[in-house]
Amino acid sequence: MNQSIKLSVDAVVFGYEAGTISVLLIKRKYEPFKGKWAIPGGFVLNNEALEKAVERELKEETGVEINYLEQLYSFGNPNRDPRGRIVSIAYFGLVHPSAFKINASTDAEEVQWFKIDELPQLSFDHKDILKLAISRLQSKITYEPLGFELLDEKFPFSDLENLYTTLLGRPIDRRNFRKKFLKLNILDELDEKISKGSGRPANLFKFNQKRYFKLKQEGIIFDI
């Protein structure tokens, strides 16, 4: 059998900050699609694990280093890449943009955060990859508690509510959400308050890292 298939990886990195969701994109330095925007990624080396490949490509092209990216899907349409038959394994992750200093290098001419509702035209089949990643993210947060990597170390509960409202793209039942989230026992309420606007000072919370990661490992259902 004469098979000539190459393997690549792509990294969809979402950022959440100040009630806004964005995605990290690079402007390609070389053909195909030179000067066009794309999801960071590249070819897997012969003796390289997929997870190492996607972490390496993301670091090389954007300067962003993430310890864990979740595998999204395999994209293998024969015509997805003009260079030949190239199958891409896509990954996705969610970060706080201010935690990183982005820097374009290797195959990237520029790197930039784009709001997900203000995206430029994307190269290859990256529009489809991003669409699926957004759908997966919105599905994921309905069964897994998020927020540890995205909020300040100390935050009012309203910040957590706003995070979920933004990621879901719809309103939530705030009373029910608060009741269910506190029942998970992964937040510590602090003896500190913060004043926002003219309302009463609100108590601050922080994630209990030990209980948070234990819950994630156990895969407890978080239904909102």
- Where residue 69 sits, what CATH number does that domain have? 3.90.79.10
Q: What is the DSSP letter of 84?
A: S
Residues 6 or more apart whose Cβ sits within 8 Å of residue 135: none
CB 123, CB 29: distance < 8 Å: no
Encoded tokens for 89: 């394994």
Which of 174, 60, 68 lies closest to 106, judged by CA?
60
Which of 96, 88, 104, 100 lies closest to 30, judged by CA?
104
Beta bridge partners of 27: 37, 110
DSSP alpha helix (H) spans, the chain: 50-62, 126-140, 157-168, 174-183, 209-218
Encoded tokens for 40: 């960071």
Q: What is the pLDDT of residue 223?
A: 75
What are 48-55's contacts with CB under 8 Å, separation 24+? 50/9, 50/89, 53/9, 54/9, 54/10, 54/11, 54/89, 54/91
pLDDT digits (tens, 9 = 90+) for 103-133: 998 889 999 999 998 999 999 999 999 999 9
In this predicted structure, the answer to whether residue 92 has a pLDDT above a threshold of 70 is: yes
Q: Which residue has the tokens 């979740």?
A: 70
Q: Are residues 42 and 103 in the same domain?
A: yes
In this predicted structure, the answer to whether residue 199 has a pLDDT above a threshold of 80 is: no
Is 118 known to be catalytic? Answer: no
Asked if residue 24 is part of any domain, the answer here is yes
Q: Are residues 112 and 168 in the same domain?
A: no
Q: Are residues 74 and 168 in the same domain?
A: no
Q: What is the pLDDT of residue 134?
A: 93
Please give the residue range of the domain that contains residue 202. Answer: 155-218
- Cα separation of 171 and 218, whole Å? 28
Q: Are residues 121 and 184 in the same domain?
A: no
CB 54, CB 69: distance < 8 Å: yes
Asked if residue 68 is part of any domain, the answer here is yes
**Stated length of the chain:** 224
- Give pTM, 2 decimals: 0.88
In this predicted structure, the answer to whether residue 151 has a pLDDT above a threshold of 80 is: yes
Q: Please identify which of the residues 31, 110, 189, 192 carries the catalytic annotation.
A: 110
Q: Are residues 80 and 38 in the same domain?
A: yes
